[in-house]
Each structure stands twice: as structure tokens, then as C-alpha cells.
Amino acid sequence: MIDFIQQIKLRNETLFYFGLVCLLLSVVFLLLTKITTVQVYHVNAWYKPFKFAFSTFLFAWAMAWYCYYLPNFNIHLFNWSVIILLGFEIFYIAFQASKGQLSHYNLSTPIYSALYSMMALAATLVTLYTAYVGILFFKNDFPALPIYYLWAIRLGIIIFVIFSFEGFAMGARLNHSVGALNDNSNWLIIGWSKTVGDLRVAHFIGMHALQVLPLLSYYVFKNTKLTIGLTVMYGLLAMLTLIQALQGKPLMRGSKVEKEVSGTI
């Protein structure tokens, strides 16, 4: 693990430190869930910035690792695009959490509406830039990389992009739940609904293909056909959870009492 961390720092020092800052922020935000009582939609307000900061940490380090392989790639432009765009998202989400107010789906004032649109734009730009990185992994040759690992990176980016844009399904509804209003059942620290459909499940699974597929391919499967088979199964899992959520069904059902409390509509 120490060698892996050192390698990330050598490959991309800028994203290494940005990821490290995000990791430290996620720890701070998680601690704040234990010492504060401010809530949004019946859960501690600091869970949301925790999840976004930790997810950004994983994204930053993954892309720091992968972009190192790309020839003639403007890594400085990519780095600072990620830092500015995702850094803005984390800052605004944390700022709103400190006030006990929504960051996402908040159209209550013209300013909040504009800032929410800016977050959507930031996420879109990062996703499109990541898609461009994916195209470069298809266009270039990488003779030093095992072919199964190369395909895992390519396919992981494709699934990431698809399910990153799935976030627009939530944005269009101003709601991540199907069958209730932004239900949060506080399932572990993820907060997915245990009573109704939750569009965040597929979003989470799909976006983390970026890390899961290359890691499993490189360290476990070590085979191109198995890697492609894994990708198909993983993509189907993400798609099935999306279909399940759209049908108003939770990933894991809670008690009947919880369903009554959630206030289905």
C-alpha cells in the first residue's frame, strides 16, 4: 500500500495532494456527523459532503494513475479542471450542510438555483473530460500494459461516464427517490432508501467501475475474456439496480414501520 501511494505521488503529484485533501475532508465531515445535530431530509447534513469528498478522493487518485499512461496529454489542464470543478462542488455542498440546507435540487432562490446549475455543469464537464480520456485509451497503443488491464481501464471509463450522466435522471426529477421525496433511510453511511426506489444506487455502482474493474482485472482475473465478462456482469448489475429503482423498489427493504414513516407519495 505504501508503494502504491508513493507511485501515485510520483505519477501525478497535483492530483495526489488534491485527493489527499479530499480524503482528509471526508474524515472531518464524517466526524461532524457524530458531533452535530443539523439535519437535511431526516439525516445528518454532513453525510452528503462526506460522500462527495470521499468519492472525489477515489476519482482523483484513479485518474492520476491512469492518465500517467497517456502520451502527449495535457495533464496540467486536466488536473486543474478537476480541482476547480470538483473542489467547487465539495465546497458548496459542505457550505450548505453547515446551514442545514439543500445543495442539490435547491431552487428556492435565484442564487441557489444558479449554484445548483453550476454544480451540474461542473459534474458534466468533468464527466466529458473523463470521456475524452477514455477515447485516448482507445486511440493510442499501450504495448507496456497487459491487454486485459487496458480493456478494464477503457470499459471502466465507459461505465463511469454512462452512470455519471444517470445523475441527470435525479436532477430532472429534483429527487433521488422513486415513491417518496428524497428518502434517506440512513443505510450504513451510504443513506440509500430501504423503503422506496433510490436512483443513487446505480449512480454509485456505475461510477465506481472506474476503480473496481481495473483493480479486479489486474490483481485477480488477469485475462481479457474474464475482464470483459466481469464488465458485462458489472454493467448489468448497475442497470438492474437502475430499473429496480425506477420501479420504486429499494435495493434492500426495511421494516414496514420505516416505510410508513418515510411518507410515500
- pLDDT, one tens digit per residue, over 223-258 is 999 999 999 999 999 999 999 999 999 988 765 434
Q: What is the pLDDT of residue 260?
A: 43
pLDDT under 50: residue ranges of the chain: 256-265
Give every CB contact of residue 176 below 8 A, 6+ residues apart in sequence: 170, 182, 198, 199, 200
b/e 34-58 (16+ beta carbons within 10 angstroms → b): eeeeeebbebbbbbbbbbbbbbbbb
Q: What is the pLDDT of residue 191?
A: 83
pTM of the model: 0.93
Q: What is the pLDDT of residue 254?
A: 62
> What three-state secondary structure class fits 55?
helix
- Kindly list the distances between the CA atom of residue 206 and the CA atoms of 18, 53, 84, 214, 221, in Å, as whole numbers in the listed order: 23, 18, 23, 13, 20
- The length of the chain in residues reads 265
Q: For residue 219, give the DSSP letter.
A: I
Q: What is the pLDDT of residue 190?
A: 83
Decide: 238 and 202 in contact? Cβ < 8 Å. Answer: yes
Q: What is the pLDDT of residue 32?
A: 97
Q: What is the pLDDT of residue 261?
A: 40
Q: What is the pLDDT of residue 264?
A: 36
Distance separating alpha carbons of residues 76 and 8, to the nearest angstrom = 15
Decide: 164 and 123 in contact? Cβ < 8 Å. Answer: yes
